Amino acid sequence: MSSKKTFYISTPIFYPSGNLHIGHVYTTAIADSLTRYKKMRGYETYFLTGSDEHGEKIEQKAKENNLSPQKYVDEMIVNFKKLWDLIDVKYSRFIRTTDKDHETIVAKTFTKLQKDKFIYKDFYEGLYSVSDEEFFTEQQAKKHEDGKYYHPVSGHVLKKVKEASYFLEISKFGKWLKQYFYDHPEFVIPEKRINELINNFIDPGLKDLSVTRTSFSWGVPVNGDNKHVIYVWIDALMNYITALGYNSNDETLFNQYWNHDNAEIVHLVGKEITRFHCIYWPILLKMLNVKQPTTVLAHGWIVTKEGKMSKSKGNVVNPLDLIEKYGSDALRYFLLKEIKLNEDGVFSIDHFESVYNNDLSNKYGNLISRTVSMINKYFSGNIASDFSIENKFCKKLSLRIEEAIFDYNNAMDKLKINNALDIVSDLLRDSNKYVDETTPWIVAKTDKKELQNVLSWLYYSCVVINTLLKPFIVKKSKIAAGLLEVSHIKLIDDLQIANFTNIKVKENKILFPRI
């Protein structure tokens, strides 16, 4: 095994029952940015995303479209991958629950759990939402005046079902799980989600989970009892380890990214699927004797002024429209900086455009542009650097840069993406202020040596800012790195002034034209 530190991150696998919207882009952009950051810290990384393709909902959708389920999902997945390409989401694997290696391990794992007596057969009676793939008891669901039961969050109608089913014996693990939460405070971020889980599910007593269905056939059948199809959540959750070859002939990736003490493993999820990831998933792993992930990071929802995005409200924001008009970097930057990870965040075009103009055009684009232009104008694009700190503004800026790198790393290590971006944004503000304070265009008239010093620090600040923004602003930071002639800088550790003895820049280019 290599001695490099490893980082494994996953997004939820998305249902291909509709097109992806900015909520899905949000999760996936977080995962992509954290992966790019970890690479800049020298980690070996594995980033998994994919699609959750089995189940009744997909079977129904395919029928509505007059397609076989396989054909239907094959077509939907093309759009998923196109979107990820457009927005620079560079995953290590795109797993589909219809992938043969995944299906084989899911069936095999089910059999193992049966053998180990964690799964037994009985009858399931309850209320089920096809759209949300979720079960409820009558107490949990809302009964309306019309006599029907509805999903407490999505509002979808629930249907009564009674059928033979296999059950996963999770009821025995409540005590263990509660203790695990206490012993591993970093397991669920933010902490408020743990309290919800304990109060709503663990303390009232966990119920064994129905894990198969006979009412549809689009899924992985149970070995030796083909009428039963393994229920989507078990099939879906398993993707996090089947993708790495868990329990297959080749466990290299599993050993590299999961199965060792220093493996950092992060699952990103939206708040409404925390229960599946923080109760069922850890218990399933415990049953399989597989180590737990480091952290489940549960983010809030992106909503609009009209509330949660939904087709019926007509407020679904299509990422493709935004990418076409403003570019993929602007969308990534906006989502990752303006949406606070732990809360719901409101998306509006006005806010989006103001962030584009203020942050990307005026602060970032303008700083790079001013700096490159001045180095071209006063030094024909080439300075022998002078990083002395006698000048009080140079000294102040040098300290701010050092502090920003430290705080940024710290925030990113704690997965606090929007805080990390605030830190860069503050350094941008201070660097622009530094230009106004040092007035290089006046110094140019009197003291070339002083100018060399002032512009060296300004250039260095641009390089640092641009490097720290690389995980978020993928395309434009590459262009800016070209202008600053630092495309070879790959690691944050390389950001030492000793590495910039000879400063060179190219002809200026506008990065973010104002809108």
Q: In the complex, which residues of this chain contact ligand MSP (CB under 6 A)?
A: 12-15, 23-24, 26-27, 52, 236-237, 269-270, 272-273, 301-302, 308-309
Using CB positions, name the residue nearest to ligand MSP. Answer: 270
Name 490's Cβ contacts closer than 8 Å, sequence gap at least 6. Answer: 39, 40
Q: Are strands 212-213 and 225-230 parallel, antiparallel or unpaired?
A: antiparallel
> Which H or E run contains 384?
strand 382-384
Question: Which amino acid, one-letter code, is at 337?
Answer: K
Measured CA to CA, the distance from residue 129 to residue 272 in angstroms comes to 14
- Indicate the residue among 231 and 460 with the shorter CB distance to ligand MSP: 231
List the beta bridge partners of residue 165.
Answer: 122
Q: How far is the CB of 272 from ligand MSP (least distance, A)?
A: 6
* DSSP, res 187: S
- Indicate the residue among 91 and 393 with the shorter CB distance to ligand MSP: 91
Measured CA to CA, the distance from residue 294 to residue 277 in angstroms comes to 12
- Indicate the residue among 27 and 461 with the shorter CB distance to ligand MSP: 27
Q: How far is the CB of 244 from ligand MSP (least distance, A)?
A: 14
Listing DSSP states for 216-282 in one string gives: --SSPEETTEEEEEE-HHHHHHTHHHHTTTTTSS--HHHHHHTSSTT-EEEEEEEGGGHHIIIIIHH
- Indicate the residue among 26 and 254 with the shorter CB distance to ligand MSP: 26
- Indicate the residue among 238 and 455 with the shorter CB distance to ligand MSP: 238
Q: How far is the CB of 57 from ligand MSP (least distance, A)?
A: 10
Asked if the bond preceding 190 is cis, omega within 30° of 0, the reply is yes
- Indicate the residue among 52 and 59 with the shorter CB distance to ligand MSP: 52
Q: How far is the CB of 133 from ligand MSP (least distance, A)?
A: 7
Q: How far is the CB of 497 from ligand MSP (least distance, A)?
A: 41
The closest alpha carbon to 259, from 226, 298, 293, belongs to 293
- Indicate the residue among 15 and 459 with the shorter CB distance to ligand MSP: 15
CA distances from 131 to 125, 281, 378 (A): 18, 21, 64
Q: How far is the CB of 265 from ligand MSP (least distance, A)?
A: 14
- Indicate the residue among 89 and 454 with the shorter CB distance to ligand MSP: 89
Q: How far is the CB of 314 from ligand MSP (least distance, A)?
A: 14
Tokens 């630092």: give the residue. 486
Q: How far is the CB of 119 from ligand MSP (least distance, A)?
A: 19
11 is written with which tokens?
A: 């997004």
